[in-house]
Structure 1
Amino acid sequence: MKTMVVGASKGLGRALIEGLGEAGDTLMGVSRSRPQGLQAREGVDLQWVEADLTQPREAAQRLEQAVAGQGLDTLVYNLGIWETRAFAPGYDFLADDDAEVQAIVNCNITATLLVIKRLLPTLLQSPRPRIILTGSTSGLSQSGRPEVSFGASKFALRGIADALREGYRQHRLGVTCLNLGYLNTDDPLATPREVAALRGEGQLIPVHDVVQVVRMALSLSSASFVKELTLPAMADERF
């Protein structure tokens, strides 16, 4: 299996690179620069593409060139930025800088669309094409969050997923949207999961759990797929 992980240099993306794949598989990480000391599982061929998704057209073209001739089975799009004051008690949409709002839309929506558009012809050549979009519980109805631009961009991911499923159902394209709650990205995959689960006193999800969910989704046969999955923290009172 050949899998591309966009936004792979740190946090959840780094954990996905370290936790996905089996011997003989190929993982292709994407970020502005290749991080130091990042290793895939034993027997997994790790490749890297340096691309800046704040420049969507150029980045999408670079990724298209990277998969040309070698194929692609799965795209994991794990990229998103949010407001400077997001998730803080004093957040106020009216205080958001106009340029920041535009940057969030550009990175979280425009880049997603252009990358998928460029990679889709190659993906559809796979016998089991899959796209996994890293969404957020902020993209759910009545999410309880006031961040307008970030929330709108995560709502958009769900719309992108729905439209892709309908447009390419005959190609058996499986598109999964993961609605994730607050993550513990301080503890890497090398940290024992039991230890990572203690951080945040039930308010944070270890990246280990997300990696496990993605591995499960990718292990299914071509007869089924995970349409949408919501993964909140145990003590998140919104759920």
Structure 2
Amino acid sequence: MNLKNKIAVVTGASSGLGAALSIALINKNAVVYGLARNEVRLQQLKDKCGPNFHPVVMDITQNKILEKWATSLFSKNYIPDILINNAGIGLFGKIDELPDTEWLNMMNTNLNGMYFITRAIVPFMKQSDSHKHIINIGSIMGTMGKEEATAYSTTKFGVQGFSQSLFHELRDHSIKVTCINPGSIETDFFNRTGISTHSNMLQAADVADTIIHVLETPDNLLINEMMLRPLNPRKPDNKNSL
């Protein structure tokens, strides 16, 4: 796909990988609708990216508000070409210590939000014969279980199943579906989760550039799953390092 003038929707766009993806897409002359709850950070990203970045203050777990936004913006004459489901939260802890609210928040954002935004966007993608692409950001924690990651891994295993089923459902509509499973990325995520980091984490800009490469593959070539890991990590003693 040639990304010039393509219309992209990026969730979790205000920081970390979402911000890096928005910048990378803008640098390819795409038009980006960046969704997030943090209005201040979205405006800062708008100031950096310029007129092709459109900040959208949105909680993707609010499905009715989300659907209203999508139907008011998109039509058969203005169709999104790319959806990047990046929004996600995580907190690690023992199953008998993690609060119910954290479990529900992770399920709601990591799975319900992804489902709701995809359901809102796909009908518009189907209205065009041109190739479209959905990128779901999973995690290596969605490919393996790990102590004290019960809740987070459950949501990311769900992303795997969602992506695989969606791939089969949309393949004949010229809509690609790719699940990207990164290891540890140097973002604020690790400060919030309480898990350890190491000295050679993936950089958000590098992961974003890799995803750009996936988007730019030939129309008849699909990378349906990709795992990204840092090279030569210096592992700390903490067993929760990624």
TM-score w.r.t. the length of structure 1 is: 0.82
Q: Which has the higher helix share?
A: 2
Alignment check: 8 A CA contact 1:135 1:180 kept: yes
SS in 2 for 1:131: strand
Q: How far off is 1:22 after superposition?
A: 4.9
Alignment check: 8 A CA contact 1:3 1:73 kept: yes
Question: 1:65: which partner in 2?
Answer: 72
Alignment check: 8 A CA contact 1:19 1:41 kept: no
Question: 1:193: which partner in 2?
Answer: none
Distance (Å, rounded) in 2 between the aligned partners of 1:214 and 1:64: 27
Deviations 1:107-150 (A, max 9, x none): 11111111111110112234111000111111013x54531111
Question: 2:88: which partner in 1?
Answer: 80
Q: Which runs of 5+ in 1 are unaligned?
A: 187-198
- RMSD value, Cα: 2.4
Alignment check: 8 A CA contact 1:23 1:42 kept: no
Kindly tell me: are residues 44 and 211 of structure 1, through their superposed partners in 2, closer, same or farther at Cα, counting changes over 3 Å?
Answer: farther
Question: 2:181: which partner in 1?
Answer: 179
Matched pairs, number: 219
1:31 aligned residue (36, 50, 57)? 36
Alignment check: 8 A CA contact 2:25 2:31 kept: no
SS in 1 for 2:210: helix
Q: Which amino acid aligns with 2:54?
A: Q
1:12 aligned residue (1, 14, 17)? 17
SS in 2 for 1:48: strand
SS in 1 for 2:159: helix
Question: 1:201: which partner in 2?
Answer: 199
Question: 1:135: which partner in 2?
Answer: 138
SS in 1 for 2:138: strand
Alignment check: 8 A CA contact 1:24 1:43 kept: no
Alignment check: 8 A CA contact 2:8 2:83 kept: yes
Alignment check: 8 A CA contact 1:25 1:43 kept: no
Kindly tell me: are residues 234 and 138 of structure 1, through their superposed partners in 2, closer, same or farther at Cα, counting changes over 3 Å?
Answer: same
SS in 2 for 1:80: coil
Q: Which amino acid aligns with 1:201?
A: S
Question: 1:194: which partner in 2?
Answer: none
Distance (Å, rounded) in 1 between the aligned partners of 2:150 and 2:157: 10
Alignment check: 8 A CA contact 1:180 1:231 kept: yes
Alignment check: 8 A CA contact 2:167 2:224 kept: no
Q: Which runs of 5+ in 2 are unaligned?
A: 1-5, 189-196, 236-240
Q: How far off is 1:169 after superposition?
A: 1.7
Kindly tell me: are residues 125 and 43 of structure 1, through their superposed partners in 2, closer, same or farther at Cα, counting changes over 3 Å?
Answer: farther
Q: Which amino acid aligns with 1:63?
A: A
RCO greater where, 1 or 2, for CA within 8 Å and sep 6 or more? 2
